Amino acid sequence: MATKELSRLTGQFKDKLIQQALKRKLHQHKNSFSCSSVEQTPPPPSLQTDNAHFNRFHSHPGYQQLRIINEGGAQLGIANPFFKLHEGIAGATTRIGGQEYINYASYNYLGLNGDARVSNAAKRAIDQYGTSVSASRAVSGERPIHRELEEALANVYDVDDAMVFVSGHAANVTTIGYLFGSKDLILHDELIHNSVLQGALLSRAKRLPFPHNDWNKLDQLLHQERQHFERVLIVVEGIYSMDGDYPDLPKFIEIKLRHQAFLMVDEAHSFGVMGQKGLGIREYFGIKGNEVDIWMGTLSKSLAGCGGYIAGETALIEHLKFLAPGFLYSVGIAPPLAAASLAALRCMLEEPQRVATLQERGQLFLSMANAAGINTGTSKGLAVIPAIVGSSVKAARLSAALFQQGINAQPILYPAVPEKSARLRFFISSEHSEAQIQKTVEVLAAELS
């Protein structure tokens, strides 16, 4: 056996031993915490003599688990791949540690973050309104730029109205958490975003996941469960950020109508990406705006700002504006961010070639990766393309190897995805060149061989 091959197999065996030891340690830690928190009921506060285990953050089970994972990474010689310092605008390229990298770790899908028109709109808003509205919009924080952005969003969705939040995550949490309650049912794709799960938890509604993109199984669940609940909400995403695929939205619309349910679509990754003009999954399938009850999206990706939005009928938006805690009791979105997103939306509508180029580059990456035998899962090549490698250690090492060759692509590790589905994610931008994509796939394929 060649020396190089023997060294590779020896390294794999060593890695496997360390991973097994790490898994045992994590399992022991979880069991220990479970026993201490479930089997042994702590005495009332007045009778406790030693609270040292409960009043120090270093003893928190989550932090202890993080330490075990970091320790295992150190033993495997894997540096922490997260929280890299980007020294400028992160788009198709970025600068880290004084070096330029081809960048696939940004949601700057249309290259509008850093566009002079978008930046200038934000600067003008600062000059006119300052950097903050300093209060809840319902009380004293309304600015004309908020309404301009909301009217523009309502227009592109062909619905009555829209509202913007300071956070996309918060938009989902407060909308779902407020509108639904203990007598209701929330059904969601098993790969739905954390913000939807948190909103469902807050609502106290019964929550049931259905297999990914499986509208037939959803229909079966509703036949079994619908009669037991008042309101029912179905939640899907436009493009799933871990896998890069999308649902058959017309089928989900049929099901929600048949079972008298609400349908919510999270367009965080599909708006600006799908459809000829970038108007999202609605345009892609040619459906009317009012065929979906709640449209949700973010301003931080294609729209080059920060925040989230909900769009729909007047009753929905007016209700949320006056009573949803995450809007009513939160400061309004900063004027420069609203102005930046409005300018980016106008640029997108005026320059559909950005969307067309993004889609072409995504298809190029996907076709080249598939030709090279790279496992891209169910990705459709619409801006999000995973390279599934099968273990967290392998994904972390692959990310580090690409970084050494001038390519920045982040690993997605357990527990964010199942261990067997650990991967690198490549977010494509309209600014990526064909040469950059070709180089990336060649390096990726070589490292995986």
Closest Cα to residue 173, out of 146, 145, 192, 153? 192
Q: Encoding tokens for residue 395? A: 């994904």
Residue appearing with tokens 């975003």: 193
Q: For residue 300, what are the CA distances in angstroms to 141, 245, 268, 297, 432? A: 21, 20, 9, 9, 19
Pairing of strands 99-103, 294-298: unpaired
What the block records as the tokens of 378 is: 């169910």
CB 195 within 8 A of CB 169: yes
- Measured from the Cβ of residue 434, the count of other Cβ atoms closer than 10 Å reads 12
What pLDDT is recorded for position 37?
A: 44
Q: Which tokens belong to 416? A: 């964010």
- Which of these, 282, 286, 354, 275, lies nearest to 312 by C-alpha position? 282
Q: Give the separation between CA 139 and CA 151, rounded to whole angstroms.
A: 20
Q: Which helix or strand (DSSP H or E) is residue 437 part of?
A: helix 434-448
* C-alpha separations of 378 from 303, 370, 381, 388 in Å: 26, 11, 9, 10
In this structure, how many other beta carbons lie within 10 angstroms of the beta carbon of residue 24? Answer: 10
Coil, helix or strand at residue 373: coil
The answer to whether residues 161 and 325 touch, using CB atoms and an 8 Å cutoff, is no
Contact 234, 261 (CB under 8 A): yes
Q: Both tokens of residue 66? A: 């993080």
Using CA atoms, how far apart are residues 427 and 429, in angstroms rounded to an integer? 7
Domain covering 116-350, topology = Aspartate Aminotransferase; domain 2 (3.40.640)
CA dihedral 376, 411, 297, 199 (to 10 degrees): 110
Closest by CA position to 298, among listed 251, 344, 367, 364: 344
Enter the tokens of residue 123.
């600067």
Cα 304 → chain centroid: 15
Helix (H) or strand (E) holding 142: none
Indicate whether this model's pTM tops 0.75: yes
Q: CA 385, CA 263: separation in Å to the nearest integer?
A: 26
Q: Which two tokens stand for residue 449?
A: 């061989």
Alpha carbon 108 to its chain's center: 13
- Extents of the domains making up the chain: 93-109+352-448, 116-350
In a structure prediction context, what are the per-residue pLDDT tens digits for the chain, which is 449 residues long?
Answer: 454 454 444 455 455 545 555 555 556 555 554 444 444 455 555 555 566 667 888 888 888 877 877 777 777 777 788 888 999 999 999 999 999 999 999 999 999 999 999 999 999 999 999 999 999 999 888 899 999 999 999 999 999 999 999 999 999 999 999 999 999 999 999 999 999 999 999 999 999 999 999 999 999 999 999 999 999 999 999 999 999 999 999 999 999 999 999 999 999 999 999 999 999 999 999 999 999 999 999 999 999 999 999 999 999 999 999 999 999 999 999 999 999 999 999 999 999 999 999 999 999 999 999 999 999 999 999 999 999 999 889 999 999 999 999 999 999 988 888 889 999 999 999 999 999 999 999 999 999 98
The structure tokens 């060759």 sit at 405
**What is 93-109+352-448's CATH number, 3.40.190.10, 3.90.1150.10, 1.10.357.10, 1.20.120.1780?**
3.90.1150.10
